[in-house]
A and B are shown apart, each in its own frame.
Chain A
Amino acid sequence: MKTLTLKVLLLIVAALLFSPPLYAQQAASEEQRLRGNIQRMVENGPPATTPDEDHQKALLALRGQLVRLLLKRSGGLEARITNLEAPGAAPETMSYAAKLRAELKTVNDEISLLDKTMGGVLPPAPLAAPATDKQNSNTSVKTSADRANFERDVAAFSPTDLKAAAVPAEVVASTAPTCDERGIPVSATPSMYESAICTLAKAVAIDKGDIDLENQERPILTILTAKLLKTRKGEAESYAAFVTEAQERRIDQQVGAAPSSNSATSIVSKGGIPYLLGFAVENGAATQTEKDTSITFRVNPGGLINLFANRGFITGYRESEHDPVLKLLRKTSLGLTFDTSRGDTPGVFTGRGQQLSQISARVEFFNERDPRNRKYAALWENLVATEGLKLAQQTWDTTTVLTEWGGINDDITFKEPALQAWLNHLNQAAKGVNAGLSGAALVNATAAVINDEADQVPVASVSENTINALTNFAARVKTYSERKNAIFDQIAKGRILTLEYTNKREVNAPDTSNFNFIAATGTAGRVDLTANGSFTFFHSRPPLASPGAKQAGRIRDFQFAGQLDVPFGEGFDLWFSGRYERLMEDASLAAGVVLPNTKGDIAIGQVGLNVPIKGLGVKFPISVTFANRTELIKEKVVRGNFGFTFNWDTLLSKLKPF
């Protein structure tokens, strides 16, 4: 009884393992369609005495397509039979293998018949090399005759053939990503597939290069993983899903950039330095009663020097690495805030000295969120030496199965004519994009074409060897990526310490200086905690509030603040913050009038949301502030604030990436 159960189980397992996948059924249906068409052409051909060349060509093309499909089926059957007849096969398994062998004979007979009918005009397309676990040297160099045959087979694959061999669009279609000029998706959560499309689009549109196996093997393999493994069962399908699923961006688009501006819409200052320029307009005072519109410009001197030296985003950053002065300047920023309610024409931004209300400077003491920080060197070395090395080995193993390197003058090609035909067609289509476009527009138009072409991967014409090699590669990519992302998650919890100095220029009241220490650290789930501690002093003692009143001290106030940032979606940021301020002296109006009995404690709470605009570096911060009082009026207050911030780094990276 036990033996019978075991045999039944073996049969079920064998049936599951070797059952034809969805695309095989589609291929069978395609065979039937071609047979029907061939029969129709034969039955309705011209008289034998007046042959028609067009009719012969069409018939030959149909028979050629059928031969290729049958060859594919024959190869698949042979592989299944070999697996079934492996040592230890049960009689039931052998019986099933015999059934497949009969089917194989039928298929091979049909191929022979077609070949005979075609008079050997179209030689059978070679299948991929037999399964090899590993090739230590890529010595499978084809002779020139082999190469010529291969090229003829590739050329024989028409766009119609490719379309017929592709999986229906509704099964594998993907939406084209939006890319920037550097070939990076603008989405905050790009998939590996989207990154691959943008990389290839940039290679063609900006670098004017080819989509080739010499330079672009990695994004090509990603696209093949997404499309070829999509129709498979089990783990292979999960790898296709892995490369197409949205992933949180681990590498910042802006080199060393951080929130570019701290606005009056927030009651807590954030650490970080923009690479070049930050710009913010805010309306609605969070901590004072006077509701003014202020405009803040923040500049990174190092970035500005690079701009004037006509060095691009990456080049400038690279060169500053070797220049100690530029390196120091890169960690600083200067800010100028203009109060538009001041000056001769209140409400209008003039940019004159009268409207200059604040000058600030920042210096970053340390930033542990930079993945290149030496602190993390051991983590990266370990990744490279373990999972990285395994991935490299698998990459080579997959390369040897999929590609043919040829002689010194040959391009590296796919071994399978169908895949090479697809790659050729992809190049042709990508290079045919409207040349009138330029920059990011050209990259995106090219990306859309590449995305469409990716749907035409000839799934039905690809051998099991290729599928297996790709599955092994995708498995290693997944493990490696997960390990790498774990390191990024660890780094995201790093600390930042920044000192900010602000010189506030009053109209009539004494000017003040404020020193603000800003510290930040990450927690689980990329939630960010920021703390501020600051004190402010007067440059000159304020006038007496009333005759005989006590002379004010030099310390104006000290403050402590904290903020919790919760990022979500594509660049959205929800924040909760609180601030305690001890006003040591009575507050003054801008006109210089001291308001008596205004010193004391101020508590402020805030809830806010940063709403981003994709790819533009613009954010709209909206917040609601609750306070027990303001500096000027001892009454509870609830106020809404809004504004927009603009990170010039994003624009620079689009206009002049290198």
Chain B
Amino acid sequence: MKDLNHPKHRYLGKPGEPVAVDVIAHDTTHMVQFILDGAPAQVLPEGQQIRFNLKNSSGAITTLQLIMDFNAVGAYDIVVSDVTDCPVTPPPNCTHTRTGPDQIIENHKYGVE
């Protein structure tokens, strides 16, 4: 999968390509939920990945909304696996960090070539 726009969390991959997203807490209790493609909200337990496959039709988009909260002045690393063209970290993973203490809503788009 290719990092299409890093600051805006847009990725582009092949039809049906698997995607894995890790959310790693630092100096805060892990307090994360997510909504994948409009499905009901789920809790993301510590140490677990968000895994899904890209859609099969060209141009189709999978949406991901992450909600991350803090109980200290900590941070979350959001790591998307198997990404090329990431401008901030070497392949295969692409990482960005969000710092607290205020709750964060982050919106991602995963498109099909």
Smallest CB-CB separation from B77: which chain A residue? A318
Q: Beyond A138-B63, A209-B7, A399-B65, is A412–B101 a contact (Cβ under 8 Å)? A: no
B27 touches A392 (CB 8 A): no
Instruction: Report the separation of the CA atoms of residues A137 and B40 in the bound assembly, to the nearest whole angstrom.
Output: 10
Which single member of A137, A210, A487 contacts B38 (CB below 8 Å)? A137
B61 touches A251 (CB 8 A): no
B48 to chain A, nearest CB (A): 13
Which of the candidate stretches A99-107, A285-293, A379-387, A581-589 sits at the interface with the other chain?
A379-387
Instruction: Report the separation of the CA atoms of residues A383 and B67 in the bound assembly, to the nearest whole angstrom.
Output: 13
Contacts A384-B31, A408-B111 given; 20 further ones with Cβ under 8 A? A182-B73, A213-B107, A214-B8, A215-B9, A217-B106, A251-B101, A314-B74, A371-B71, A380-B29, A380-B31, A388-B43, A389-B42, A389-B43, A392-B65, A399-B105, A405-B107, A405-B109, A407-B59, A408-B12, A484-B71
B70 touches A136 (CB 8 A): no
Report chain B residues within 8 Å CB of A408: 4, 10, 12, 59, 61, 109, 111
Instruction: Report the separation of the CA atoms of residues A396 and B49 in the bound assembly, to the nearest whole angstrom.
Output: 20
B38 to chain A, nearest CB (A): 4
Report chain A residues within 8 Å CB of B38: 135-138, 396, 400
Q: Does B102 sit within 8 A of A, measured CB to CB?
A: yes
Main secondary structure of the interface of B (DSSP, over half): strand
A389 touches B37 (CB 8 A): no
A212 touches B8 (CB 8 A): yes
Instruction: Report the separation of the CA atoms of residues A459 and B104 in the bound assembly, to the nearest whole angstrom.
Output: 25
Q: Does B69 sit within 8 A of A, measured CB to CB?
A: yes
Report chain A residues within 8 Å CB of B10: 408-409
Q: Does B93 sit within 8 A of A, measured CB to CB?
A: no
Q: Does B89 sit within 8 A of A, measured CB to CB?
A: no
**What are 21 A-B interface contacts by the 8 Å CB criterion?**
A135-B38, A182-B73, A214-B7, A215-B98, A218-B103, A251-B70, A251-B73, A252-B72, A255-B72, A314-B99, A317-B27, A318-B75, A371-B71, A376-B29, A388-B33, A389-B43, A396-B41, A399-B105, A405-B107, A408-B109, A409-B5
B102 touches A218 (CB 8 A): yes
Report chain A residues within 8 Å CB of B104: 215, 218
| Chain B window 1-42, contacts with chain A (Cβ cutoff 8 Å), 1 for yes, 0 for no | 000110111101000000000000011110111110111111
Report chain A residues within 8 Å CB of B108: 214
Report chain A residues within 8 Å CB of B67: 388, 391-392, 395
Q: Does A532 sit within 8 A of B, measured CB to CB?
A: no
Instruction: Report the separation of the CA atoms of residues A460 and B6 in the bound assembly, to the nearest whole angstrom.
Output: 35
Q: Does A196 sit within 8 A of B, measured CB to CB?
A: yes
Interface centre among A195, A212, A253, A393 (most CB of B within 10 A): A393
A215 touches B106 (CB 8 A): yes
Smallest CB-CB separation from B67: which chain A residue? A392
Report chain B residues within 8 Å CB of A376: 29
A154 to chain B, nearest CB (A): 18
Instruction: Report the separation of the CA atoms of residues A426 and B57 in the bound assembly, to the nearest whole angstrom.
Output: 37
Report chain B residues within 8 Å CB of A261: none
A548 to chain B, nearest CB (A): 63
Q: Does A116 sit within 8 A of B, measured CB to CB?
A: no
Instruction: Report the separation of the CA atoms of residues A371 and B25 in the bound assembly, to the nearest whole angstrom.
Output: 14
Which single member of B12, B65, B73 contacts A252 (CB below 8 Å)? B73
B111 touches A389 (CB 8 A): no
Chain A interfacial residues counted at CB < 8 A = 56
Q: Does A184 sit within 8 A of B, measured CB to CB?
A: yes
Q: Which of A281-319 contact B (CB under 8 A)?
A: 314, 317-318
Report chain A residues within 8 Å CB of B98: 215
B60 to chain A, nearest CB (A): 9
Q: Which of A381-432 contact B (CB under 8 A)?
A: 383-385, 388-389, 391-393, 395-396, 399-400, 405, 407-409, 411-412
B40 to chain A, nearest CB (A): 7
Smallest CB-CB separation from A137: which chain B residue? B38
Smallest CB-CB separation from A371: which chain B residue? B71
Instruction: Report the separation of the CA atoms of residues A407 and B12 in the bound assembly, to the nearest whole angstrom.
Output: 11
Interface centre among B43, B98, B105 (most CB of A within 10 A): B105
Smallest CB-CB separation from A386: which chain B residue? B43
Q: Beyond A141-B61, A388-B69, A395-B105, is A314–B40 a contact (Cβ under 8 Å)? A: no
Report chain B residues within 8 Å CB of A487: 71
A399 touches B107 (CB 8 A): yes
Report chain A residues within 8 Å CB of B41: 389, 392-393, 395-396
Report chain B residues within 8 Å CB of A484: 69, 71
| Chain A window 457-488, contacts with chain B (Cβ cutoff 8 Å), 1 for yes, 0 for no | 00000000000000000000000000010011
Instruction: Report the separation of the CA atoms of residues A141 and B12 in the bound assembly, to the nearest whole angstrom.
Output: 17
Q: Does A219 sit within 8 A of B, measured CB to CB?
A: yes
A314 touches B105 (CB 8 A): no
Q: Which of A191-236 contact B (CB under 8 A)?
A: 195-196, 199, 209-210, 212-215, 217-219, 221
Interface centre among A182, A221, A370, A408 (most CB of B within 10 A): A408
Report chain B residues within 8 Å CB of A396: 35, 38, 41, 65
B8 touches A372 (CB 8 A): no
Which single member of A136, A219, A251 contacts B71 (CB below 8 Å)? A251
Q: Which of B69-113 contact A (CB under 8 A)?
A: 69-75, 98-109, 111
B85 to chain A, nearest CB (A): 14
Smallest CB-CB separation from A138: which chain B residue? B63
Instruction: Report the separation of the CA atoms of residues A420 and B39 in the bound assembly, to the nearest whole angstrom.
Output: 26
